[in-house]
């Protein structure tokens, strides 16, 4: 008799990092991917990307609506405030990136997403929660950091009756290293959507797009995603 795969919950935004992170566990776990619509401008693009990725990887997919998160305000991602643009040479300028990070910060987003994923993990008997937190974004987004990961795993060890842990396979990687890793494992990176703006093609000028473009360029791997001219 063939034994059943272990179960996992993935927080899959449809972006590059979560796509690679989730793909790295696809052969070992039966994955149920969660995508959150919290009123972000690119919600429909992200959901479409995540749905396609889940179909490609043969994973269960659930979209969860969190309209109240957008109503908290304060983020350019969930309001009519202008999305900040950035140049490639500014990507390593912490002062500039701190400013753009503040403009797109969504209050408690990863805390909320990970807590909800924990509920699914307990309910479904999943052993791990897969997230796409990474080294490069941790510089300006503290909820992507190794410290945040370790702290949340301590919360789970204390607060959950089950043995659940968060796995962040790209947390020590730059975007270039994530692209290289994704290429190595055959992750469907071409299906992912990284842009902060709500349009069919990537804008190529928001910080998320710029980091993606630089990563593929440095890795010398073609990015098959469409960009505006």
Annotation: binding site for ATP: 12-22
Residue 103, classified by CB atoms within 10 Å of its CB into exposed (0-12), middle (13-18) or buried (19+), is: middle
Closest CA to 215 of 27, 20, 47: 20
16: nearest Cα among 199, 173, 205, 145:
173
**Cα-Cα-Cα-Cα dihedral sign, residues 61, 172, 41, 205:** negative
- Tokens at residue 158, please? 């204390």
- CB proximity list for 114: less than 8 A, separation 6 or greater: 11, 129, 131, 152, 166
The SS3 call for residue 35 is: strand
Pick out the residues of the known binding site. Answer: 12-22, 195, 203, 206, 209
> Which residues does the annotation place in the binding site for Zn(2+)?
195, 203, 206, 209
């Amino acid at each position: 008799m063939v034994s059943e795969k272990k179960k996992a919950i993935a927080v899959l935004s449809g972006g590059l990092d979560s796509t690679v992170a989730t793909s790295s566990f696809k052969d070992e776990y039966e994955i149920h991917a969660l995508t959150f619509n919290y009123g972000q401008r690119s919600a429909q693009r992200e959901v479409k990307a995540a749905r396609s990725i889940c179909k490609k990887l043969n994973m269960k997919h659930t979209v969860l609506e969190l309209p109240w998160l957008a109503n908290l305000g304060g983020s350019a991602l969930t309001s009519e405030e202008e999305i900040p643009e950035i140049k490639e040479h500014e990507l390593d300028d912490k002062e500039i990136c701190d400013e753009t990070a503040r403009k797109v910060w969504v209050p408690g987003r990863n805390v909320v997403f990970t807590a909800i994923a924990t509920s699914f993990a307990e309910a479904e008997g999943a052993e791990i929660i897969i997230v796409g937190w990474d080294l490069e974004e941790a510089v300006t987004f503290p909820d992507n950091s190794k410290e945040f990961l370790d702290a949340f795993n301590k919360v789970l060890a204390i607060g959950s009756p089950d043995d659940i842990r968060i796995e962040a396979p790209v947390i020590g990687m730059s975007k270039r290293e994530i692209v290289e890793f994704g290429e190595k494992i055959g992750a469907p990176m071409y299906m992912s959507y990284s842009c902060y703006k709500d349009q069919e093609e990537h804008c190529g000028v928001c910080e998320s797009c710029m980091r993606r473009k630089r990563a593929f360029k440095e890795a010398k791997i073609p990015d098959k995603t469409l960009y505006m001219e």
